[in-house]
Amino acid sequence: MKKKHSPSFSGRLAVLLLVAGGLLVSGLVTAPASADNYPPIGPLAEHQAAKASLVEMGKRLFFDQRISGDGAINCATCHDPAKGFGDGVPLSKAYPGTKHFRNAPTLINSAFKAGFADVGWGWSGYMGANMNDVMRDQITETMIMNMDMRIMHERMKQDAVYVAMCQENFGGECSSGKARKALVAFVESLVSIDAPFDTGNLSDQARRGRELFEGKARCIECHNGAYFSDGVPHNTGVPENMEIFTDPMRHLTYRSIIHTHGVPKMGIWRRDVGYFEVSKNYGDVGKFVTPTLRELNYTAPYMHNGMFATLAEVVDFYDQGGGHDDPLAEELQPLGLTAEERGNLVEFLKSLSSVTPVTVEPLKVPQAYKPIENWLEVTN
């Protein structure tokens, strides 16, 4: 078995990572993988959603621009329901006046990511180990929502709808902690509906693709379990998106983030350092956490930096042996897939997406406040 935070395997092992909003597939140079050695892929377990009123409160917060510092953006700015709860561009948007340097991952099936507590959330694993922490970090992050939780708390207390929602769901006044719990409830309600893989309605081509996934293509070595992720950082030599360094706004955001996270020798990097941002271990430079393979039909472009527009491009890239990065010299090798096999693998990956898109009707949340009389005496 492989070590937890290294792409190295015993023997001459090649890791094929397909990071699709991310995709990650691994492969040995010699014999095919044995699916028995990894958590089996299978349908998602039934998810017990939070009570409807709490989910509704979270949905309102998700679409409310007042939870951003200047009231200009909301969660849906980067996690658009019409785009698989991503934003459909290689590098994400960010707080007004800034631009981000990574692809916005889907939020769908986040409820099933909770088992990976030893590596944080996000492409580089720098976010918290649970969704409540992630909500706090993203709301307060200067380059994302740039919100002071105390101000958010006060804004909610001035909105009669939130006052009623907090009373119904928590039996008391609003707080930032209660807001985070509601947001978590909403995001965790976003679960795949009727993916052919889950319903057993695979085409013949997709069935052949599954055999490749668990065998010759070795995808299962990193994309396993019902969530199709091992939750571990890997380096597969994905090409750099140089817009991070040529666009001053993206570059400033990148520099600010890695400086905040204490990355050593900050000024020398002309690449996204990935998990090194967390570990400070130089062997982790260029590693990114294995994302889920579910809902790929709705979440292009792919990779942590949006470098590939289609699943076919991703499969071709790794079939050719992936990228070129020093740690990969002894790891990644061409897979030798035929054109038919590459097509079959793509069809299997597509079968992991819901036929009925996972979406919600966007809310138009009024931004004005009704004046509260004698507000200094109001306790809620």
Check residues 325 and 20 and name the one with the higher pLDDT: 325
Check residues 266 and 60 and name the one with the higher pLDDT: 60
- The pLDDT, as a whole number, for residue 191 is 96
Q: Name which of 106, 71, 171, 141 is nearest 380 in CA terms.
A: 171
% of the chain residues with pLDDT over 70: 86
Most confident of 117-126, 303-312, 365-374: 303-312
For the segment 228-243, what is each residue's pLDDT rounded down to a tens digit?
999 999 999 999 999 9
Q: Can you give the residue ranges of every domain in the chain?
A: 52-192
Mean pLDDT of 153-177: 94
pTM score: 0.87
CA dihedral 190, 193, 198, 199 (to 10 degrees): 170
Tokens representing residue 9 in the block: 């395997």
The pLDDT confidence band at residue 380, using thresholds 50, 70 and 90, is: low
- The pLDDT, as a whole number, for residue 129 is 78
3-class DSSP state for residue 278? Answer: helix
What's the start-to-end Cα distance of the chain, in Å? 55
CATH 3.40.50.300 fits 52-192, yes or no: no
| Whether the Cβ atoms of residue 241 and residue 305 lie closer than 8 Å to each other | yes
Mean pLDDT of 176-183: 96
- The pLDDT, as a whole number, for residue 127 is 86
- The pLDDT, as a whole number, for residue 304 is 97
